[in-house]
Structure formats: structure tokens, C-alpha cells
Amino acid sequence: MKIVFVLPQPGLSGGIRVIAIYAERLKQRGHDVLLVHPPNAQPSLRERVRSAVRGAGWPNVPHLYPSHLDGLDVPRKILERWRPIIASDLPDADVVIATWWETAEWVHALPACKGAKAYLIQHYEIHDNQPIERVKRTWSLPLHKIVVAQWLADIARNDYGDSDVSLVPNSVDLNQFNAPAREKQSVPTIGYMHAYVKWKGSDLACKGIRIARQTMPNIASVAFGMHAPTTEYPAPENTRFTLLPKSEALREIYAQCDAWLVPSRFEGFGLPILEAMACRTPVIATPTGAAPELVGQGGGLLVEHESPRSIADAILQIANMSNAEWKSMSDRAYATASSYTWDDATERFEGALLRARGKASGASTPARGSVRAREEARA
């Protein structure tokens, strides 16, 4: 198939990493794959002058930020400036894939010759100052939805009446994320991803660690992130922080922990859950994204939303486990991660694209792996 991914401005988010993985693996399977996206939007002259007058300096936005597409062995087309992607920007194809709510609007407007229309949904983007009603309207567009977690499939069915959705959970590369079996440490070490965006819940992680230290002062903490801790976004005291770790360093960060915190307020999937589990680290997570399916298999603990106290209690529960209890939970975490592979995910994703083509041509049989197919099989 000739497959075109239509992206927003790329960066180092987990969502872009997932797109890069699928693009590369589909190309390896013999498909003709193209990535198309605009560069970063530039401030207008008025915005630049206003910034300078406020004393914030003359804003300088790079044409592109570093992203998971850098160095990817997949053809890539970058527009000359930020603007919506239109038909003349794209070749004719078999399938064209929207990857963000705004790109769904662009893909919907394309003529049929640009390919059957699919919509890779990795989150429900009704937060972070997004235009909520526009986001919601994209869920009603006639694009075949490919969702990464059950809660997104539930939204499609319950809120938008669409049960013919392909559920393709994200996976983890066990060659990249792995660790040998180990013992519980005498000094409990807790890790988390430090982020400025509120919905990631870094503030909840920090508060939970501080509360747990009131009972067990020797708890150690580690973190990584795209931005270093600041006075506005502080880390717990004596946290070992790594800025933008490479894959090998990230694996070592996960593997030095007795528990990994994923206290998100919202989450599309939660890739760090599988990454930490693949490094044999139990996960403490709020029930967002894929956490109920993943952590619910016994490789960690689910905690209440917006509850540093609940996070602290979970930290203390794991810290007070016997070595045998902790190793059992660690083994279950690794077993969970090992059951999710990118080979399986790519096969499901490929099937979802074939389903999109079938729907565009009027075929009525749901593809294997779709939500509708599973419901019909149970009937």
C-alpha cells in the first residue's frame, strides 16, 4: 500500500514516537510510506513586537524542534511554512492517516484520490486549551478510527455511536527496554517523569514522595524529563534528575527503581508504564489511559485520582514488601510488558488500514481486531 501520515509539528512526545515506529515498520514490510507535516508556526511581527515591549525579548522559534522523526529511514515532506495540509501537498495514495485532531480536519477535506481516510487517536484532546468543540467534531468525521487504548474505544462507541473502531494498543521494544531479574533494594528508589504540563501529574508525584518520606525518610527519588526542575516546577529534595536521556540511559533509570510513578490526570496510553515494566519495575499509576489494563494485571498498584496521599500509601506498600513479594510483582510487570510487541501492534495497525480501505470501498465485513469484529464474535 501507499500510506501517507499527516502530522502536526513533530517533537519528542510519545505520540510522535509511536507514529515514527509504525512508519518505519510499515516501510520494512514493503509499504510505500510518506510522512508529511508543517514546520513550527512563527510569531507574527505584532506578536514579536509585543513580546519585546513586555520585556520578554524578541521571540525566536526554530523552523523545527528535535523530534523522533530525526534520522528515520522513511521519506518525509516538510511544508515551507505552517499552514493546513491540502491535496496538492500529497501524492495519491491508498490510505491517508490523520494523527491529531487538527490534521483530522485536513484529512477530511481531501479528495478520495488521496486515499482511504484513517484517524490515529492517541488521546482525547479536550485539555491544554484545545478548542473542545472542534476536537469533539473530529470524532464524528467519516474517518476510520484507530485507537490505542480501550477507554478511547469506549468514547467512540458511547459518545459518538461508532463501534467499528480498530483497537491497536501501543507496545514496547524489549531490545531497547529490558533488565535482568533483581532483588528489592534496601533503600527504596522511586522514579517519575518530570513534566511542566499539568495533566502529567508531576506535582502529584512530588507530593506523594514527600508524604511517603514523612514515614520512611530514606526513600530515594529519580526523574527524567524534557525540562529541568525549577522553582515553579520543583522536584522532591535530592532527586537525581536526567535531562532528555538517550534510550540506554532511560533504561538504566527505570531499572534502578523499585517503583515507577505515572500519576497522570489524563493520559492517552502511558508508554512509560510499559517501558518501566519491561525493565522489571512495578508501576504505581492513576487509572488513566491504558493503566487499568496494564497495571491491573498485577505488575503494580492503581491509585486514586488527585491523591498524593494515595500515591504515598502505594509507595510505602511497595517499600515495605518482602523481597519475595516485590520480586513477584516485578515478575508480573515484566510478563505484562513482554506480552505487548511492536510486531503484533504493526500487524494490527496494518489490518486497521486495510479496514479503512474496505470501508472506503463499501465493504461491510469488519477487519480482524476491530472492536466491532470482537463484539460480533461474542454475539
Q: How many CB atoms lie within 10 A of CB 189?
A: 18
Q: What is the 3-state secondary structure (H, E, C) of 273-325?
A: HHHHHHCCCCEEECCCCCHHHHHHHCCEEECCCCCHHHHHHHHHHHHCCCHHH
136 sits in which H/E element: helix 132-138
Beta strand pairing call for 240-243 and 166-167: unpaired
What average pLDDT is seen over the chain? Answer: 93
Q: Which residue has the cell 505484562?
A: 336
Give Cβ neighbours of residue 10 (< 8 Å, ≥ 6 apart).
Answer: 16, 37, 64, 65, 67, 68, 69
Say if CB 167 and CB 156 are below 8 A apart.
no
Cell numbers found for residue 111:
479528495
Instruction: Taking residues 159-174, report their average pLDDT.
Output: 97
Cell numbers found for residue 7:
502530522
Instruction: Taking residues 292-312, report their average pLDDT.
Output: 97
Say how far apart CA 180 and CA 189 lie, in whole Å: 17
Q: Which residue has the cell 510487570?
A: 333
Confidence category of residue 362, pLDDT binned at 50, 70, 90: confident
Task: Supply the pLDDT for residue 364.
Answer: 52
Q: Which strands form 189-193's sheet, in the order they lie side by side?
A: 240-243, 220-225, 189-193, 259-262, 283-285, 300-302
Residue 3: strand pairing partners: 33, 95
Task: Supply the pLDDT for residue 60.
Answer: 77
Kindly report which listed range (156-160, 177-181, 362-366) carries the lowest average pLDDT score.
Answer: 362-366
How many residues does the structure list for the chain? 379
Task: Supply the pLDDT for residue 137.
Answer: 98
Say if CB 209 and CB 310 are below 8 A apart.
no
What structural domains does the chain harbor? 2-171+342-378 (3.40.50.2000), 189-338 (3.40.50.2000)
Instruction: Taking residues 43-66, report their average pLDDT.
Output: 78
Say how far apart CA 348 and CA 355 lie, in whole Å: 10
Maximum CA pair distance of the chain?
A: 66
Of residues 332 and 46, which shows the higher confidence score? 332
Task: Supply the pLDDT for residue 376.
Answer: 36
Task: Supply the pLDDT for residue 363.
Answer: 63
38 sits in which H/E element: none
Mapped onto helix, strand or coil, the DSSP state of residue 115 is coil
Task: Supply the pLDDT for residue 44.
Answer: 74
Q: Which residue has the cell 534502578?
A: 256
State the DSSP code for 235.
P
Residue 192: strand pairing partners: 223, 261
Of residues 358 and 375, which shows the higher confidence score? 358
pLDDT tens-place string over residues 103-156: 999 999 999 999 999 999 999 999 778 999 999 999 999 999 999 999 999 999
Say if CB 333 and CB 300 are below 8 A apart.
yes
Q: How many CB atoms lie within 10 A of CB 346?
A: 19
CA 351 to chain centre: 21
